[in-house]
Amino acid sequence: MCGRYSLAGPNPSEVRERFALGPEIEVRRRWNVAPQDDVVAVTTTREGVPRGDVLRWGLVPFWAKDPAVGDKTINARAETVAEKPAYRDAFRSRRCLVIADGFYEWKPAARPKARKQPFHITRDDSAPFAFAGLWSTWHGPDAAVLRTCTIVTTTANDAIADIHPRMPVILPPEAEAAWLDPGTPEPVLHELLAPYPAGRTAFRAVGFAVGDARHDAPDCLEPPADEERTDAAADQGTLFG
């Protein structure tokens, strides 16, 4: 699963330009984006035109009786996204890009009861990218409106499978338009939900600060201190065949 990610690059204007977000969308550095946070995204208008957007992470289907369902829908599995009631409608007509520059996964330590080692995983060039996402609008009592999203996950590539068996779908730039396009055939959409190439994946161990979902600061990306280092922390890489 993907339960934390980052958008921490030193130049937010690069993200704004890369995804044509528009001046009304605030882009600020985030080191530890967590479920139920507001996230920067790209959705489409009813006419299918891309637009910058801000959504809450944790999809609430339009038919849900209680928005608390969003606590359990931060990820949608690529293998079942077209079938699960929570996601199938959004998969057909409300796909989005969730903007990031890295994500976190936790690798179990070799020693029993030792803490899991967090890793920060990025593209090999550290450039910002888009997760494949789905979004929905929920209308509650008293005219409340909640716009939410989920991140689609798939099988991990060979570079990080030893850390975690799954990874979020990172779309290559040339696939972003097809993912957003309401006219893209379903078989093509499924082809897009593939693991990011192992040879273009980088990862490194980080300290335990990222484990606190309320903590969003630069130290989330710092290497583990000596007392935090587990056996897994020795594993890190940039290029894989």
User: Which positions are annotated as active-site residues?
Assistant: 2, 105
143 and 69 Cβ atoms separated by less than 8 Å? no
d(CA 181, CA 176): 9
Nearest by Cα to 132 from 163, 162, 103, 91: 91
Q: What is the CB neighbour count within 10 angstroms for residue 95? A: 25
CB-count burial class (<10 Å; 0-12, 13-18, 19+) for 189: buried
- CA 207 → CA 3, 64, 204, distances in Å? 16, 38, 10
